[in-house]
């Protein structure tokens, strides 16, 4: 009996859906995780609080540099005295003055071993290029690059970020937020070369100063099968996650442990940030990734083509289609906790300046529409609380009815009426002739009978 109960219990448990608990955080930590396709926030805490980013700063360094060298990855770069500006205990790629490497190699040196020397080399060379002065002094060139970092922050409309160096070593005026850093990192990861680099476990190259071997500091992508290749590091393979795809670690005493990480699980793609954590940061990151994998699923609000639905239009130009096909202007899905799917509802809201609702599914067109023009939104609610607005657009030019339409209407109506009257008159005349013919025939037959009688 006991064995039967044990077997039954095991069967029930294994049939239940598996859930991975979202990790907990201390009050000092900042967390922000976004599923990129939907734009939905998976988890957040203190995401708008000003924090020190440490070496995760290098995501902004990468993003700014890409503006100048995205199509020049194999261009040669000369390393100068800028690499001597870092302290001996600084994380570095071991670049030496006189080395020559490509931009691609510099990004590997920046993002895998978190080379502060690589950050300074990038900053100096980009700063000179941006200023148009190839002889600009090292300090001024780096300052120029830092100004580009802050200009990029303004372009991205970051809410509370300011940078004073390209590597992230502590400065009280060097700060960001978890939400800002997620936006920076997501933008940098749009570049396919950077996506490949941050997934690379080990990279080797030979420079003038010797052979270099750069090991990725991100434990999420190092498995036990990789340990032989990274024996010089502290990796043990226990924090490996098969869905992890990058991106950058950071640490200073003031910033604590920092991590930007990304994952891909089927159609679920995430970029996330944890700031001011401790040695459990990779365990926390694993918890977020695994929770997204186990506990969340996607609701698609439209077709793969972007089509949502059609509505009937009144007061439309005769030559145009009176059916308006609504398409989404961007990705239209929600990443939600699977157990809460039924809590989500939607409501269509068309622009009341463009349309007047006549009845369900039927609208009067008030203004001309252009192809691609936003015509309304689909509102997404969770338990009757608005959580998202998805923009809808038209796919064709559609004009309202005008004077020519009405004139044409009356002309066509007049022609139809005239044609009806004409046909009626023709029919009436035809019937009259038929009656006269039959009457004449009857008279002729009667006359013939009278003649025969005589």
92 is catalytic: no
Could you tell me if 87 and 207 lie in one domain?
yes
Quick one: tokens of 436?
Answer: 């006269």
pLDDT band at 404 (very low <50, low <70, confident <90, very high): low
Burial-class residue 270 by CB neighbours within 10 Å (0-12, 13-18, 19+). Answer: buried
Q: Is the pLDDT of residue 2 over 80?
A: no
Check residue 8 and give its pLDDT: 40
With b for 16 or more beta-carbon neighbours within 10 A and e for fewer, the 210-226 pattern comes to eebebbbbbbbbbbeeb
pLDDT band at 440 (very low <50, low <70, confident <90, very high): confident
Strand-strand pairing, 307-314 and 362-365: parallel
Check residue 178 and give its pLDDT: 98
35, 115, 132, 247 from 221: Cα distances, Å? 19, 19, 40, 9
Find tokens 């006359």 and name the residue: 447
Could you tell me if 211 and 70 lie in one domain?
yes
What stretches of 28-81 show up as alpha helix (H) in DSSP? Answer: 58-69
Q: Which of 314, 317, 332 is nearest to 390 (CA)?
A: 332
Q: Is the pLDDT of residue 441 over 90?
A: no
Distance of CA 46 to the CA centre of its chain: 22
Dihedral angle computed from the Cα positions of residues 7, 10, 14 and 15, in that order, rounded to the nearest 10 degrees: 60
Choice among 58, 144, 268, 393 that is catalytic? 58
Q: Which of 8, 104, 105, 103 is nearest to 94 (CA)?
A: 105
Q: Is the pLDDT of residue 6 over 90?
A: no
Could you tell me if 247 and 331 lie in one domain?
no
Q: Is the pLDDT of residue 259 over 50?
A: yes
Q: Measured between alpha carbons, how far is 22 from 345 in angstroms, rounded to an integer?
A: 25
Single out the residue in 279, 296, 313 at which a domain terminates: 296
Inside any domain, residue 15: no
Dihedral sign, Cα of residue 180, residue 27, residue 116, residue 269: negative
How confident is the model over 357-373, as pLDDT tens digits? 999 889 999 999 999 99
Check residue 446 and give its pLDDT: 79
Q: Tell me how far apart the terminal alpha carbons of the chain are, to the nearest angstrom.
A: 125
Q: Is the pLDDT of residue 136 over 80?
A: yes
Strand-strand pairing, 344-350 and 374-382: antiparallel
Inside any domain, residue 435: no
Q: Which of 53, 56, 57, 35 is nearest to 44 (CA)?
A: 35
Single out the residue in 296, 319, 348 at which a domain terminates: 296
Q: Is the pLDDT of residue 247 over 90?
A: yes
Average pLDDT over residues 282-306: 97
Q: Is 155:148 a contact under the CB 8 Å cutoff? A: no
Inside any domain, residue 283: yes
114 is catalytic: yes
Q: How many CB atoms lie within 10 A of CB 267?
A: 13
Burial-class residue 337 by CB neighbours within 10 Å (0-12, 13-18, 19+). Answer: middle
- For the ranges 145-159, 218-232, 333-347, 429-443, which has the lowest average pLDDT? 429-443
Q: Which of 126, 109, 105 is nearest to 118 (CA)?
A: 109
Q: Is the pLDDT of residue 423 over 80?
A: yes
How confident is the model over 295-337, as pLDDT tens digits? 999 999 999 999 999 999 999 888 888 999 999 999 999 999 9
Q: Is the pLDDT of residue 195 over 70?
A: yes
58 is catalytic: yes
Could you tell me if 274 and 374 lie in one domain?
no
Length of the chain: 454
Quick one: tokens of 358?
Answer: 């006549």
Inside any domain, residue 431: no
Average pLDDT over residues 32-43: 97
Inside any domain, residue 415: no
Average pLDDT over residues 212-239: 97
Quick one: tokens of 2?
Answer: 């006991």
Could you tell me if 45 and 78 lie in one domain?
yes
Distance of CA 69 to the CA centre of its chain: 24
Q: Residue positions in the annotated binding site for substrate?
A: 248
Q: Measured between alpha carbons, how far is 286 from 378 in angstroms, rounded to an integer?
A: 34
3-state DSSP assignment of residue 198: helix
Could you tell me if 229 and 360 lie in one domain?
no
Q: What is the pTM of this model?
A: 0.84
21, 318, 321, 392, 394 from 359: Cα distances, Å? 47, 21, 19, 20, 20
Could you tell me if 337 and 196 lie in one domain?
no
Could you tell me if 89 and 192 lie in one domain?
yes
Check residue 220 and give its pLDDT: 98
How confident is the model over 39-91, as pLDDT tens digits? 999 999 999 999 999 999 999 999 999 999 999 999 999 999 999 999 888 99
Average pLDDT over residues 2-28: 56
**Residue 208: partners with Cβ closer than 8 Å, 6 or more residues away:** 96, 98, 99, 100
The CATH number of the domain holding residue 227 is 3.40.710.10
Could you tell me if 279 and 153 lie in one domain?
yes
Could you tell me if 290 and 344 lie in one domain?
no
Inside any domain, residue 434: no
The domain in which residue 340 lies consists of: 303-394
Could you tell me if 196 and 101 lie in one domain?
yes
Quick one: tokens of 143?
Answer: 């300052």
Q: Which of 277, 240, 243, 390 is nearest to 327 (CA)?
A: 390
Check residue 407 and give its pLDDT: 63
Check residue 31 and give its pLDDT: 98
Inside any domain, residue 66: yes
Q: Residue positions in the annotated binding site?
A: 248
Quick one: tokens of 446?
Answer: 């009667």
- What mean pLDDT is reported for the chain? 92
pLDDT band at 3 (very low <50, low <70, confident <90, very high): very low
- Domain total for the chain? 2
Write out the E strands in 94-148.
100-102
Could you tell me if 204 and 345 lie in one domain?
no
The CATH number of the domain holding residue 374 is 2.60.410.10
Choice among 38, 91, 114, 291 that is catalytic? 114
pLDDT band at 388 (very low <50, low <70, confident <90, very high): very high
Inside any domain, residue 323: yes
Check residue 438 and give its pLDDT: 84
Dihedral sign, Cα of residue 57, residue 60, residue 65, residue 71: positive
Single out the residue in 347, 367, 394 at which a domain terminates: 394
């Amino acid at each position: 009996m006991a064995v039967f109960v044990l077997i039954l219990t095991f069967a029930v448990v294994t049939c239940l859906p598996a859930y991975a608990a979202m990790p907990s955080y201390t009050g000092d930590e900042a967390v922000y995780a976004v599923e990129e396709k939907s734009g939905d926030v998976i988890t957040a805490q203190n995401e708008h609080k000003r924090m020190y980013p440490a070496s995760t700063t290098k995501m902004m360094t990468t993003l700014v540099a890409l503006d100048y060298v995205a199509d020049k990855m194999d261009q040669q770069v000369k390393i100068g005295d800028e690499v001597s500006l870092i302290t001996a205990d600084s994380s570095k790629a071991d670049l030496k003055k006189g080395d020559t490497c490509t931009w691609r190699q510099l990004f590997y040196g920046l993002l895998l071993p978190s080379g502060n020397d690589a950050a300074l080399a990038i900053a100096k060379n980009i700063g000179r290029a941006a200023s148009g002065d190839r002889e600009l002094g090292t300090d001024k060139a780096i300052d120029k690059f830092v100004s580009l970092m802050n200009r990029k922050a303004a372009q991205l409309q970051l809410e509370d970020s300011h940078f004073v160096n390209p590597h992230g070593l502590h400065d009280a005026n060097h700060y960001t937020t978890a939400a800002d850093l997620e936006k920076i990192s997501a933008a940098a990861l749009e570049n396919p070369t950077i996506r490949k680099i941050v997934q690379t476990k080990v990279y080797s190259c030979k420079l003038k100063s010797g052979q270099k071997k750069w090991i990725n500091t991100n434990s999420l992508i190092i498995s036990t099968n990789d340990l032989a290749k990274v024996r010089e590091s502290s990796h043990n393979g226990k924090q490996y996650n098969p869905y992890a795809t990058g991106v950058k670690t950071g640490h200073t005493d003031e910033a604590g442990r920092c991590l930007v990480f990304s994952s891909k699980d089927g159609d679920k793609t995430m970029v996330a940030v944890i700031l001011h954590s401790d040695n459990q940061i990779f365990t926390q990151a694993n918890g977020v990734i695994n929770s997204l994998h186990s506990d969340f699923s996607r609701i698609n609000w439209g077709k793969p083509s972007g089509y949502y639905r059609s509505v009937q239009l009144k007061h439309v130009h005769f030559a145009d289609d009176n059916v308006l096909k609504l398409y989404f202007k961007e990705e239209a899905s929600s990443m939600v906790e699977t157990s809460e799917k039924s809590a989500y509802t939607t409501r269509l809201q068309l622009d009341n300046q463009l349309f007047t609702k006549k009845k369900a599914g039927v609208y009067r067109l008030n203004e001309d529409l252009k192809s691609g023009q936003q015509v309304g939104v689909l509102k997404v609610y969770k338990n009757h609380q608005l959580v998202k607005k998805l923009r809808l657009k038209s796919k064709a030019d559609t004009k309202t009815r005008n004077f020519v339409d009405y004139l044409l209407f009356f002309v066509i109506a007049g022609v139809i009426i005239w044609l009806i009257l004409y046909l009626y008159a023709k029919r009436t005349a035809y019937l009259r002739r038929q009656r006269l013919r039959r009457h004449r025939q009857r008279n002729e037959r009667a006359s013939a009978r009278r003649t025969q009688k005589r």
